[in-house]
């Protein structure tokens, strides 16, 4: 849907963009080359029109040659009687004859078979015509160079003009009907559009239009698309500009362009000005190293003045979009400038379905495709991610030469988006494949056995992206907060690969590097930011400041060395506790670990349904007998065990089977002792 900035349908350039001025040295070089070419042309023009070598003879000699049949042709000049022509030996001659030529001489020429022609005298114009052509060429070049120079000067003088593009209602446009979901966001924006269309209805009760609306949300949630929908719905002039368009290499250009933009919008008020990626010019002042005279700060100061300064702008509503509201200057966010901050979050389940329907409405879908199931299996995806998912599914259908898009195409597309492309060219040794299979099986067993982990979706030992193997879990419902038990189960599940290698081989490998890094980061946040440590208590020391803002360039801790030691000890305690828990669970389900590994070595990829069946069969009874554990899949139905369900007939409980491990304790307890390995 996006297009190049100068090719967007429905937009036209408001003012000509400045061109790069031509350097004086280049201009002087072109003029010098033109003068040299003109002089060389004048010197060589006569030689271009110069005749060949001519032999001058007397008139009597010419007469004798005519009588001796030595003359082939004769050209008589009626003005001066000069006779020129060619002899039989190929020599050109010239002789002065009577003027005008007498009839007896003419009869002599004809009687001796001489080709006779008469030349009229050339005019003055034909003589100087070649010179006039060269003069005209030189004059045209000078005129062209002069116009180019004036154009460059005009471009340099207009460098401070705004680069905003004005929406044209005659072009094809996007409306709110093209934006799926986000009913609350569209309602807030449509109120401003209605105010600009019918201001009298709002003024009757004293309502004032907001001066600014800031669209805030993660990348890909459709903030710019909503602004384009406003452009399609609004019956007032709509100006669109990017935050980067204000900045230039010249000092003061950004502030000048802001002034020009608001002056143009004020002339056509009521109007809407949309600034995309406003964080590029609206960052906090004084946070960088450029001081108060930084070009970006001057641009921001001018924008603050235009939005709500000494001379307030009436009838101009400013819309802006950003995914970094934390870096914006507080003066820009206060009421009176951006009165409304509209959050555009990631779509939930009810919004993902209409978004998928919008992107799939012009594509041939197979009858088996259930977009509601696709929506349930894509939590956390933005609108751009969903559009990419549908496109990847279409590409996969083309690769397998299918005329329709099936559910398998959506499944493959989700794997491609979330896990990466398969690396078919990578060849693994047999011992490496086995170790990777045990590693991923350790993750998968814990993901299925533990209560608070996300449902197990797929396990593969085919290298994808940067990983040699992948265990994928997918939540089937939107989660907005996470409990401590959920976090601890996530830590334990990531320990599964390392622990499985330790149980089977008695040593470790480098395959758990990413798992350990992610676990350490999560445990640190649990202790420092979320207060999930008994020793630290309800205190948080997480820093949200960014280094590029200059606020963490000289970072200092706001806690003592003793507290730092406690934080490190608590992080270590949490990680060791979850490692011990992973050892305990995998030791209990060692048969399931081996069965899952054998299946992976044979099939390379196993879905969650098959993995759950293998683990239950190896355990001798269903692992989840009291709680529901759903396995996420796009192709089939979910697998669940409701409370009180009978044991499946194909999996007979073993008399010696041990009960399923208890979930993580909800109260603070000491870490369990390490079982013998």
Any catalytic annotation for residue 440? yes
Non-local (6+) Cβ contacts of 579 within 8 A are 495, 498, 499
Q: According to DSSP H, which parts of 450-535 are helical? A: 484-494, 496-505, 513-528
Residue 631 lies in a domain: no
Report for 14-28, 210-224, 243-257: range of highest mean pLDDT = 210-224
What pLDDT does residue 596 have?
93
Q: Which of 157, 178, 207 is the last residue of a domain?
A: 157
Among the options 440, 488, 577, 609, which is catalytic? 440
Lowest mean pLDDT across 50-54, 360-364, 451-455, 508-512:
50-54
* Per-residue three-class SS string for 347-390: CCHHHHHHHHHHHHCCCCECCCCCHHHHHHCCCCCCHHHHHHHH
Q: Report how far residue 196's alpha carbon sits from residue 123's, in angstroms, rounded to the nearest whole number.
A: 75
CATH number for position 295:
3.40.50.300
Greater pLDDT, 85 or 150: 85
pLDDT in tens, 4-15: 444 444 444 444
Q: Is 615 exposed, middle or buried (0-12, 13-18, 19+ CB in 10 A)?
A: buried
Check: pTM over 0.75? Answer yes or no: no
What is the SS3 assignment for 320?
Answer: strand
Identify whether 270 is preceded by a cis peptide bond (ω within 30 of 0): yes
Residue 191 lies in a domain: yes
DSSP string, 586-629: HHHTHHHHHHHHHHHHHHSEEEHHHHHHHHHHHHTS-S-SSS--
Residue 564: its H or E element:
helix 561-588
Give yes or no for residue 396 having a pLDDT over 80.
yes
What pLDDT does residue 287 have?
56
Residue 600 lies in a domain: yes
- Average pLDDT (28-47) is 68
pLDDT in tens, 327-347: 888 888 888 888 888 888 888
Is there a single domain that holds both residue 372 and residue 303?
Answer: no
pLDDT in tens, 515-559: 999 999 999 999 998 989 888 888 888 654 444 444 444 455 677
Is there a single domain that holds both residue 359 and residue 453?
Answer: no
Is there a single domain that holds both residue 496 and residue 526?
Answer: yes
Are residues 254 and 298 in contact, defined by beta-carbon separation less than 8 angstroms?
yes
CATH number for position 90:
3.30.720.210
Residue 645 lies in a domain: no
What pLDDT does residue 36 have?
75
Task: Spell 74-99 as b/e; 16+ CB within 10 A means b.
Answer: bebbeeeeebbbebeeeeebbbebee
* Per-residue three-class SS string for 251-272: CCHHHHHHHHHHHHHHHCCCEE
Residue 556 lies in a domain: yes
- Average pLDDT (494-504) is 93
What pLDDT does residue 194 have?
79
219: confidence class by pLDDT, cuts 50, 70, 90: confident
Residue 19 lies in a domain: no
291: confidence class by pLDDT, cuts 50, 70, 90: very low
What is the SS3 assignment for 273?
Answer: strand
Lowest mean pLDDT across 3-7, 297-301, 380-384, 465-469:
3-7
Q: Which of 419, 440, 475 is the last residue of a domain?
A: 419
Q: What angle, rounded to 10 degrees, do the helices at 608-619 and 430-449 form?
A: 80
Is there a single domain that holds both residue 461 and residue 533?
Answer: yes
Is there a single domain that holds both residue 100 and residue 184?
Answer: no
CATH number for position 392:
1.10.8.60
What pLDDT does residue 150 have?
60
Structurally, the chain folds into a number of domains equal to 5
Distance of CA 373 to the CA centre of its chain: 28
Residue 658 lies in a domain: no
Is there a single domain that holds both residue 218 and residue 291?
Answer: yes
Question: Taking the CA atoms of the chain, what radius of gyration do you get in angstroms?
Answer: 43
Non-local (6+) Cβ contacts of 317 within 8 A are 192, 196, 209, 210, 211, 212, 213, 270, 271, 272, 273
Is there a single domain that holds both residue 140 and residue 284?
Answer: no
What pLDDT does residue 631 have?
55
Q: Which domain, by its residues, includes 363? A: 349-419
Report for 35-49, 151-165, 240-254, 502-516: range of highest mean pLDDT = 502-516
Is there a single domain that holds both residue 198 and residue 336?
Answer: yes
Lowest mean pLDDT across 209-218, 280-289, 635-644, 647-656:
647-656
Residue 512 lies in a domain: yes
Is there a single domain that holds both residue 460 and residue 485?
Answer: yes
Greater pLDDT, 166 or 588: 588
pLDDT in tens, 114-165: 777 776 655 555 567 667 777 777 777 777 776 666 655 444 444 444 444 5
Is there a single domain that holds both residue 296 and residue 213?
Answer: yes
Is there a single domain that holds both residue 104 and residue 191?
Answer: no
Q: Report how far residue 322's alpha carbon sits from residue 223's, in angstroms, rounded to the nearest whole number.
A: 8
Mean pLDDT of the chain: 75
DSSP 323: S
Is there a single domain that holds both residue 217 and residue 256?
Answer: yes
């Amino acid at each position: 849907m996006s297009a190049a900035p100068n090719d967007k349908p429905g937009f036209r350039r408001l003012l000509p963009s400045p061109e790069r001025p031509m350097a004086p040295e280049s201009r002087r070089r072109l003029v010098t080359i033109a003068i040299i070419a003109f002089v060389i042309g004048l010197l060589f023009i006569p030689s271009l029109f110069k005749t060949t070598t001519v032999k001058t003879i007397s008139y009597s000699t010419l007469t004798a040659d005519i009588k001796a049949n030595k003359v082939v042709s004769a050209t008589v000049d009626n003005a001066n009687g000069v006779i020129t022509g060619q002899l039989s030996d190929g020599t050109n001659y010239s002789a002065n004859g009577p003027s005008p030529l007498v009839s007896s001489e003419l009869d002599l020429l004809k009687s001796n078979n001489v080709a006779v022609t008469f030349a009229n005298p050339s005019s003055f114009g034909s003589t100087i015509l070649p010179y006039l052509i060269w003069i005209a060429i030189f004059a045209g070049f000078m005129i062209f160079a002069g116009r180019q120079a004036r154009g460059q000067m005009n471009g340099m003088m207009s460098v401070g003009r705004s680069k905003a593009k004005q929406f044209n209602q005659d072009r094809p446009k996007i409306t709110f009907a093209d934006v799926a979901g986000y009913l609350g966001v569209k309602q807030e924006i449509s109120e401003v559009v209605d105010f600009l269309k019918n201001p009298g209805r709002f003024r009757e009760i004293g309502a004032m239009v907001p001066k600014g609306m800031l669209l805030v949300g993660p990348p890909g949630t459709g903030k710019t698309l909503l602004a384009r929908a406003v452009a399609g719905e609004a019956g007032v002039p709509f100006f669109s500009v990017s935050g980067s368009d204000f900045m230039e290499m010249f000092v003061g250009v950004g502030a000048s362009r802001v002034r020009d933009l608001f002056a143009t919008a004020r002339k056509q008020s009521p109007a809407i000005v949309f600034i995309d990626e406003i964080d590029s010019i609206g960052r906090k002042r004084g946070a960088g190293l450029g001081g108060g005279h930084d070009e970006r700060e001057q641009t921001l100061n001018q924008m603050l003045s235009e939005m709500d300064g000494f001379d307030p702008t009436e009838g101009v509503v400013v819309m802006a979009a950003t995914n970094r509201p934390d870096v914006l200057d507080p003066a820009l966010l206060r009421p009176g400038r951006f009165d409304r901050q509209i959050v555009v979050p990631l779509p939930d389940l009810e919004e993902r379905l209409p978004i998928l329907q919008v992107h799939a409405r012009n594509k041939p879908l197979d009858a088996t495709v259930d977009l509601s199931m696709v929506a349930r299996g894509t939590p956390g995806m933005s609108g751009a991610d969903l559009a990419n998912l549908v496109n990847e599914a279409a590409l996969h259908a083309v690769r397998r030469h299918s005329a329709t898009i099936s559910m398998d195409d959506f499944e493959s597309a989700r794997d491609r988006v979330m896990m990466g492309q398969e690396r078919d060219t990578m060849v693994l040794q047999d011992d490496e494949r086995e170790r990777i299979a045990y590693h991923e099986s350790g993750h998968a067993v814990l993901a299925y056995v533990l209560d608070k982990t996300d449902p197990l979706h797929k396990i593969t030992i085919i290298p994808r992206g940067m990983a040699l193997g992948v265990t994928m879990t997918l939540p089937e419902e939107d989660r907005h907060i996470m409990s401590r038990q959920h976090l601890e189960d996530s830590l334990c599940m990531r320990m599964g690969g390392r622990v499985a290698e330790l149980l089977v081989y008695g040593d470790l490998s480098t395959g758990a590097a990413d798992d350990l890094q992610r676990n350490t980061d999560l445990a640190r946040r649990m202790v420092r930011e979320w207060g999930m440590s008994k020793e630290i208590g309800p205190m948080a020391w997480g820093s949200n400041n960014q280094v590029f803002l200059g606020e963490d360039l000289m970072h200092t801790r706001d806690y003592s060395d003793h507290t730092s030691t406690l934080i490190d000890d608590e992080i270590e305690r949490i990680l060791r506790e979850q490692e011990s828990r992973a050892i305990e669970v995998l030791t209990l389900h060692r048969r399931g670990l081996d069965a899952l590994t054998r299946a992976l070595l044979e099939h390379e990829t196993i879905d969650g349904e098959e993995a759950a069946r293998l683990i239950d069969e190896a355990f001798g009874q269903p692992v989840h007998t009291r709680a529901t554990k759903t396995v996420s899949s796009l192709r089939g139905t979910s697998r669940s065990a409701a409370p009180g369900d009978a044991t499946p007939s194909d999996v007979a409980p073993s008399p010696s089977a041990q009960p399923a491990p208890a979930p993580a304790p909800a109260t603070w307890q000491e870490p369990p002792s390490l079982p013998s390995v």
